């Protein structure tokens, strides 16, 4: 494996703990329509699958299409107005990013979240200017699990695919990274529910906390430890 130069992250459930704000937005829309609110623990495992999945979780899989689209748009509007109330980097992630920046590497984001949500959220957290690339769900004409967003991120970051590692918490993340030809890590601390089997996704390793990403980097290139 080539020396890793770029660490790429999924956004929701990998780089950022966005579940509190996304769950609050869903429950706000449920309350507006007289539906019972859902426990946070129930919502958390579905956040990485986006607005469609959350609206179906709250209002049911079988909805009139017009109702579904209206509820989805309302959810996006409420969430967009409250992007950064309780969203933060996962514990240990700030130290990891600082290490990456100090040791001749760079980092970026590849997410299926649309840019109108991704960009202001990254800016609000002071991360936009630090990232070598931010590739959102509508940056290219394909989304994960297609490899095109991953390869576009490589170009922006100035690295070849085999010089990148992608960290994500969904099967499409690992599939996209593998199809692009980069190493992949599963963020077990992310939004993985009991119905998913990350051990079957084919990642290079499974990570319990951000600190273990650094451990993986050091194991992949022992000379980094001396830097």
Nearest to 138 by CA among 99, 111, 167, 172: 111
User: In the sheet that 164-168 helps form, which strands lie side by side, from edge to edge?
Assistant: 133-135, 106-110, 6-9, 164-168, 183-187, 205-207
Active-site hit among 10, 21, 169, 173: 10
Which residue(s) pair with 108 in the sheet?
Answer: 8, 133
62-83 per-position pLDDT tens digit: 999 999 999 999 999 999 999 9
Q: What is the pLDDT of residue 225?
A: 60
108-165 per-position pLDDT tens digit: 999 999 999 999 999 999 999 999 999 999 999 999 999 999 999 999 999 999 999 9
* Paired tokens of 79: 């969430």
* pLDDT band per the 50, 70, 90 thresholds, residue 42: very high
Active-site hit among 12, 17, 21, 169: 12
Model-level pTM? 0.95
Q: Active site includes 67?
A: no
Alpha helices in the chain, H assignment, sequence order: 19-32, 40-44, 50-59, 65-81, 93-102, 115-124, 148-157, 171-180, 210-220
**What whole-number distance in Å separates Cα of residue 64 and Cα of residue 198?**
33
Q: What is the pLDDT of residue 135?
A: 98
Q: What is the pLDDT of residue 220?
A: 85
Q: Active site includes 12?
A: yes
Sign, CA torsion 12/18/19/25: negative
CB atoms within 10 A of CB 64: 8
Q: At what angle do helices 115-124 and 65-81 cross, to 10 degrees?
A: 20
CB atoms within 10 A of CB 115: 15
Domains of the chain plus CATH, in order, are 6-17+87-226 (3.40.50.1000), 19-81 (1.10.150)
Mean pLDDT, residues 173-185 taken together: 98
* pLDDT band per the 50, 70, 90 thresholds, residue 40: very high
Please state whether the peptide bond connecting residue 4 to the residue before it is cis, i.e. omega within 30 degrees of 0: no
What Rg, from alpha-carbon coordinates, does the chain have? 18
Q: Is the pLDDT of residue 227 over 80?
A: no
* pLDDT band per the 50, 70, 90 thresholds, residue 223: confident
Q: Is the pLDDT of residue 101 over 80?
A: yes
């Amino acid at each position: 494996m080539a020396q890793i130069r770029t660490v790429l992250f999924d956004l929701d459930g990998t780089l950022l703990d966005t579940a509190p704000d996304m769950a609050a937005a869903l429950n706000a829309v449920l309350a507006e329509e007289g539906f019972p609110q859902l426990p946070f623990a129930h919502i958390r495992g579905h956040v990485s699958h986006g607005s469609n999945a959350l609206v179906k979780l709250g209002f049911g899989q079988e909805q009139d299409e017009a109702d579904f689209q209206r509820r989805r748009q309302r959810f996006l509007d409420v969430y967009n107005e409250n992007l950064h109330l309780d969203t933060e980097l996962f514990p240990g992630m700030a130290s990891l990013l600082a290490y990456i920046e100090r040791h001749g590497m760079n980092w970026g984001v590849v997410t299926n979240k649309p840019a109108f949500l991704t960009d202001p959220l990254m800016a609000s957290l002071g991360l936009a200017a630090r990232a070598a690339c931010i590739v959102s769900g509508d940056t290219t004409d394909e989304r994960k699990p297609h490899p095109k967003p991953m390869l576009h991120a490589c170009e922006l970051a100035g690295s070849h695919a085999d010089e990148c590692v992608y960290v994500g918490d969904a099967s499409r993340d690992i599939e996209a990274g593998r199809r692009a030809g980069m190493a992949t890590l599963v963020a077990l601390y992310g939004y993985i529910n009991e119905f998913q089997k990350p051990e079957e996704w084919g990642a290079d390793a499974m990570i319990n906390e951000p600190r273990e990403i650094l451990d993986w980097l050091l194991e992949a290139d022992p000379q980094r430890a001396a830097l």
